[in-house]
Amino acid sequence: MSLPETKERILDSAEYLFARKGFHNTSLRAITGRAAVNLAAVNYHFGSKEALLEAVFERRLVPLNKVRRKNLEVVRETARREGRLPGVEESLRAFIEPTLAFRKSGTGAEDFITLVGRAMSDPDDTVRNVFIRHIAPLFYMLFDILREALPELSPDMLFWRLQFAIGAMGHAICMAGKSYSLPEGVTPVSDVESLTAMLLDFVVAGMERA
Amino acid sequence: MSLPETKERILDSAEYLFARKGFHNTSLRAITGRAAVNLAAVNYHFGSKEALLEAVFERRLVPLNKVRRKNLEVVRETARREGRLPGVEESLRAFIEPTLAFRKSGTGAEDFITLVGRAMSDPDDTVRNVFIRHIAPLFYMLFDILREALPELSPDMLFWRLQFAIGAMGHAICMAGKSYSLPEGVTPVSDVESLTAMLLDFVVAGMERA
DNA sequence: TTTTTTTTCAAACATATGTTTTAATTGAAC
DNA sequence: GTTCAATTAAAACATATGTTTGAAAAAAAA
């Protein structure tokens, strides 16, 4: 049929399984089985399992990064136009909000965000390198804006605080939607807006700490 | 020789490789090769690869948790004796400090801490479940103390803020000692004391946010 | 329709995996 | 020194893996 359907089906299935079982613990047979396509289709359409992983990231990360980059540019431009420094909260929000909101952006997006949350600390170089390659430019951009926002903070300190913030975000992403056993009295909200608000509160406070 | 050496060698090697390549991406042959013991030794001494993972966690986590538990009890007791509420910083410090300090506690400890940092968000159930089983009681204990320290905070809010803090810590652990490409002007300190101080600053600020 | 290209499919390939087996070796108890 | 249990060792097992092959089917081009 030559449907573009096949490639999409493989991407969806891989995204689903990579997010849940990890890259190395997911076989091509599981992926193609779930996608109801032939085993050889992966190597035919993508070349290799690793290239498939790359494609899974690329499909979502390119548009997501476009939003994040544009948001950050708006923050920078607005501040410049108004003759002031960029704010810490608006800078972090420009980066964090689209990331968490992406979860609602369509079928499979939730899987992908889980994948992203875990990719940062993935033990495997294959996964982490692919991810870092995509995320690094945005990270530097955010770092630069925060340097302007917090000029009194040393670069080292800012670097680590930003790492802490990224870590908090990644972990929040992984936890959201999961049903772990919870302490008594806790009925965790998992709607994106509340979670984003809480996370922003937390990281802004940490970032601005005197 | 019946040396207890063999089991230890296997544990060291597994710890090293699990931390660097992940559980599923590490073969028993790689482990036994590195440990210079026979392949069958793993199944003989531990029963299975999964049981080996369990043993790797257990060897380090039992003593580490003992320290963390004792620290938390001291915080709680001291506050009670002095007729005041436990402090946010001392509570978080009781948990975080031994974790990061553990890194220096001996050969292989660094590998293990890396493993821990990643276990929290490991895509694989095998790894995450083993880890959660060991960490959950401590997490609840810390949660309870922080409830006393921050009585005005809703349980939900506290739960998430603690998750953010845990995420920041886990990510910091993963990053420490790694040589990623860094923004200009950043020469990241990686000595444990500075990192602990920065992390505590960050999470205390986030936790106490009005 | 015929030809040509693209895509699908089943099968095979080569290798890697965790585990088990069986025999050799070791170390201590008698 | 002999016996016996614990440990090590080499090999085999069964299965799972990513990838490749070559023919069939489908789609597109002529």
Average pLDDT over residues B180-205: 86
**Contact: A121, B171; criterion CB under 8 Å:** yes
Mean pLDDT of chain B: 90
**Contact: B164, A18; criterion CB under 8 Å:** no
Q: What is the pLDDT of residue B2?
A: 42
Question: Closest-CA residue in chain A for B194?
Answer: A157
Q: Any idea which of A148-157, B13-22, B107-116 has the lowest mean pLDDT?
A: B107-116
Chain B contact set for A53 (CB, 8 A): none
Q: Any idea which of B2-11, B130-139, B142-151 has the lowest mean pLDDT?
A: B2-11
The answer, for A153 touching chain B at a CB cutoff of 8 Å, is: no
Average pLDDT over residues B98-112: 83
Q: What is the pLDDT of residue A182?
A: 77
Percent above pLDDT 70 for chain B: 96
Name which of A22, A166, A209 is nearest B205 (Cβ-Cβ).
A209
Which class is domain B57-208? mainly alpha
Chain A contact set for B140 (CB, 8 A): 183
Rounded to whole angstroms, the Cα distance separating B19 from B131 reads: 13
Q: Note the pLDDT tens digit of each residue in A116-133.
A: 888 887 777 788 888 888
Average pLDDT across each block of 10 residues of chain A; the chain has 210 residues. List them in order.
76 94 94 96 96 95 94 97 97 94 80 84 81 90 96 94 94 76 75 92 96
Interface test with A, best of B56, B171, B193, B208 (most A CBs within 10 A): B171
Interface test with A, best of B164, B174, B204 (most A CBs within 10 A): B164
Q: What is the pLDDT of residue A168?
A: 94
Question: Closest-CA residue in chain B for A183?
Answer: B140
Nucleotide at minimal C1' distance from the B43 CA: C19
Rounded to whole angstroms, the Cα distance separating A110 from A96 reads: 15
Q: What is the pLDDT of residue B180?
A: 67
Which class is domain A49-208? mainly alpha
Q: What is the pLDDT of residue A123?
A: 75
Residue B199: pLDDT over 50 = yes
Answer for A4: CB within 7 Å of strand D.
Answer: no
Average pLDDT over residues B129-137: 88
Mean pLDDT of chain A: 90
Query: A137-166 in b/e burial notation, b at 16+ Cβ within 10 A?
Result: ebbebbbbbbbebbeebebbbbbbbbbbbb
- Strand D, CB < 7 A, residues 11-70 of B: 37-41, 44-45
Name which of A164, A186, A207 is nearest B159 (Cβ-Cβ).
A186
Q: Any idea which of B9-18, B26-35, B111-120, B177-186 has the lowest mean pLDDT?
A: B177-186
Q: Note the pLDDT tens digit of each residue in B51-82.
A: 999 999 999 999 999 999 999 999 999 999 99
Residue A105 sits at φ, ψ, to 5 deg, of -80, 5
The answer, for B179 touching chain A at a CB cutoff of 8 Å, is: no
pLDDT band at B121 (very low <50, low <70, confident <90, very high): confident
* Residue B52 half-sphere exposure toward CB, CA atoms < 13 A: 29
The domain spans of chain A are 49-208
Rounded to whole angstroms, the Cα distance separating A166 from A181 reads: 24
Q: Note the pLDDT tens digit of each residue in B151-181.
A: 999 999 999 999 999 999 988 888 876 666 7
Q: Note the pLDDT tens digit of each residue in A50-84.
A: 999 999 999 999 999 999 999 999 999 999 999 99
DSSP B133-159: HHHHHHHHHHHHHHHHH-TTS-HHHHH
**Protein-contacted positions of strand D (CB under 7 Å):** 6-12, 16-22, 26-28
Answer for B13: CB within 7 Å of strand C.
Answer: no
Rounded to whole angstroms, the Cα distance separating A197 from A207 reads: 15
